Structure 1
Amino acid sequence: MSSTSELNPSKLGTKQHWDNVYAAELTNFEDIGDEGEIWFGEDSIEKMLDWVQDYASNDPAPFILEVGAGNGTLLFALHEAGYDDNRILGVDYSEDAVKLARAIGERRGEGCENITFETCDFLNDVPAPLPDMDQPEWDIVLDKGTFDAIALAEKDSEGRSPADGYPLRIGQVVRPGGYFLITSCNFTEDELKAKFGAPETGLKYHSRVPWPTFSFGGQSGNVYSTVAFQKPAQS
């Protein structure tokens, strides 16, 4: 696990790769009803859902944003757990990911079809607020693997990764008192704390979700890291 400045660029950091992935998954869904891969597996869905239920009040219903929502599995799980479908937005820069998530929502029904999915390049565009929102600030912002993918994108001529500006963007869309919850496979808990808990983001470390540990060569670690941050409420 490395910092954004040390990760080597990969096809996993290109829009073309994800466009190809979701074009194939959309075709599979239309042909055989396969909803596609669950990024990081079902355990990641359960752990993030459990955290939201433990720490984020559902009275009133929170406005929830997932950045890089893919096929929408995490957001469907939140809706099925009782969160208001009209207050949930998933954004992705791949148009076919958005088409897939919408199609899955329509197929599942029971309110899943009311979850909003929109195409948005988060690093350059602010997600449009939902109808009941006064401004584009969210009670809960979620990331399950998106920061990992962005960190694998090509660096600019000065060696900076597009991911370097991502924590600040996240801080801008979390409302005061709101939360950001991230699951990563490329960054340790301490690295996530350093990046998203930096003063300029306006976020502070809140809590962590434990994962099983492994030991190798006298060192122990986790395959994934899930960490929560909160933006302090304004006094």
Structure 2
Amino acid sequence: MAGLKFLPEDSSEANQHLSAPLQQLQTGREVASDDDRSVAADSWSIKSDYGSTLDDEQRHADAAESLSSAANFRPASDYSSDKDEPDADAMTSMLGLQSYWDAAYLDELANFREHGHVGEIWFGTDVMETVISWTKSLCIDVSQGHITNHVGEAKSQPVEQDDKYLSSWSVLDIGTGNGLLLQELSKHGFSDLTGTDYSEGAIDLARSLADRDGFSNIKFLVDDILETKLDRQFQLVMDKGTLDAIGLHPDGPIKRMMYWDSVSKLLAPNGILVITSCNHTKDELMQEVENFNQRNIAISQEPNTNKDQETQKDHPPFRYLNHVRTYPTFMFGGSVGSRVATVAFLRN
């Protein structure tokens, strides 16, 4: 996924919503100009993977039934830091549709072939560097057995020391876009790297860039997190904006529930999920995970549950591990927030 262009720190428009949905992401169903579409396409990526034997129609129906029956669970898209009722128009956008991203990445691919442009860095280079350094440190701490609820901030270590820990981590980047995140992870010692995207144009671009830059070790696959064909689990799953974009689909609440079910199957036990969002705060992401955990516990208590589901009574799928504390913050409505949130969850 490519980069968001943030407003200046002192911009009053930037403070209109604590979880920073950003005006360009709430375009409704209006048709964007070519320039707007190009910028937004460099800013988002909704792509990925899901592991289920159910067909799409059945999984969609199951998710819809869970939403309608679980009155005590708020849909993910209802979480908001500064208003009681969600704005329905702001909850959906063309940015949640695959057709949008297919067209956007065709433009990006043509730009690369004609001019060698890679597209913008997702969320900007500063955020990418922070996420990579922080995630690397987190993985090293986990490898060394230092698993706590509050792992320390990123620490700079020699690459030679990192390699022995990081080379064994299998990494999946869902909604990989141009794949530059995986290239940077490779530079920092990770070697088992896979990127997926439901846009074929994005995967063509990512492969072209990796080939040009000498990263033949990175695997890129066309795959959708809600309909994944992947048959393996990963120790580290990275998401930078994919969950946000899924929430902008007209069926966002249902699809987000399907997303969590998918990720829980793709992430290996004791694996780490790192989500970077510009549309949800750390607390909102934690609440969404808690709702998913509660839903799975409730399912495990129903009659005729299998053994795997029964284990979730005492061990819900995810628990909060840590979050990035170094992003710039601002005050709004008496609360302190950031335009970007990066949160790590551990798979139980």
Q: SS state of the match for residue 161, structure 1?
A: helix
Is 1:30 the equivalent of 2:113?
yes
Say yes or no: does 1:108 pair with 2:213: yes
2:173 counterpart letter in structure 1: E
TM-score normalised per structure 1: 0.87
CA contact (8 A) 2:166 2:190 kept: no
| Greater CA drift, 212-221 or 177-186 | 212-221
Q: Given the superposition, is the C-alpha separation of residues 161 and 31 from structure 1 closer, same or farther in structure 2, using an over 3 Å criterion?
A: same
Q: CA deviation at 1:77?
A: 0.4
Could you tell me how far apart the structure 1 residues matched to 2:266 and 2:274 are?
13
Structure 1 stretches of at least 4 aligned residues deviating more than 3 Å after TM superposition: 216-219
Match of residue 186 from structure 2? 79
Structure number with greater Rg is 2
**Structure 2 CA distance for aligned equivalents of residues 185 and 23 of structure 1:** 24
Q: In structure 1, how many angstroms separate the alpha carbons of the residues matched to 2:274 and 2:332?
A: 28
Secondary structure of the equivalent of 1:113?
Answer: coil
Given residue 136 of structure 2, which amino acid in structure 1 is its aligned partner? Q
For 2:193, give the aligned amino acid: I
Q: State the Cα distance separating 1:60 from its structure 2 match.
A: 5.2
**Is 1:155 matched up with 2:251?**
yes
| Aligned position for 1:123 | 226
Question: Over residues 128-165 of structure 1, what are the superposed CA-to-partner deviations in whole Å (9 max), with x where a residue is unaligned?
Answer: 4xxxxxxx111100000000100000128xxx431222
Residue in structure 1 matching 2:280, options 187, 204, 209: 187
Q: Is the 8 A contact 2:282 2:343 kept in 1?
A: yes
Q: When you count strand as a share of all residues, which structure comes out higher?
A: 1
Q: Which residue of 2 aligns with 1:139?
A: 235
In the TM superposition, what whole-angstrom CA distance separates every residue of 1:85-131 from its partner, at most 9, and x where no partner exists?
xx11000000000000000001101xx12200000011111424xxx
Q: Specify the alignment match of 2:77 in structure 1.
A: 4
Query: Greater share of helix residues, 1 or 2?
Result: 2
Alpha-carbon spacing, 1:219–1:59, altered in 2? closer, same or farther (3 Å):
closer
The number of equivalent residue pairs is 218
Mind listing any 5+ residue stretches in structure 1 that lack a counterpart? 129-135
The yes-or-no answer on 1:51 pairing with 2:131 is: no
The structure, 1 or 2, with the larger RCO (C-alpha pairs under 8 Å, 6+ apart) is 2
* CA RMSD between the two structures: 1.8
Give deviations 1:44-74, integer Å, cap 9, x for gaps. Answer: 2112211221121325520000110000011
Q: 1:177 touches 1:230 (CA, 8 Å); kept in 2?
A: yes
Equivalent pair of 1:22/1:97 in contact (CA under 8 Å): yes
- Structure 2 letter corresponding to 1:117: F
Gaps of 5+ in 2: 1-18, 22-75, 79-85, 141-164, 297-315
Match of 2:345 in 1: 229
Q: Which residue number corresponds to residue 69 of structure 1?
A: 176
Whether the aligned pair in 2 keeps the contact of 1:22 and 1:94 (CA below 8 Å) is yes
Q: 1:206 aligned to 321, 324, 331, which one?
A: 321
- Counterpart of 1:103, as a letter, is S
Q: Matched residue of 2:120: which SS? A: coil
For residues 152-188 of structure 1, what are the alpha-carbon distances to aligned partners after superposition, in whole Å with 9 as ceiling and x for unaligned?
A: 00128xxx43122212211111111110000001111
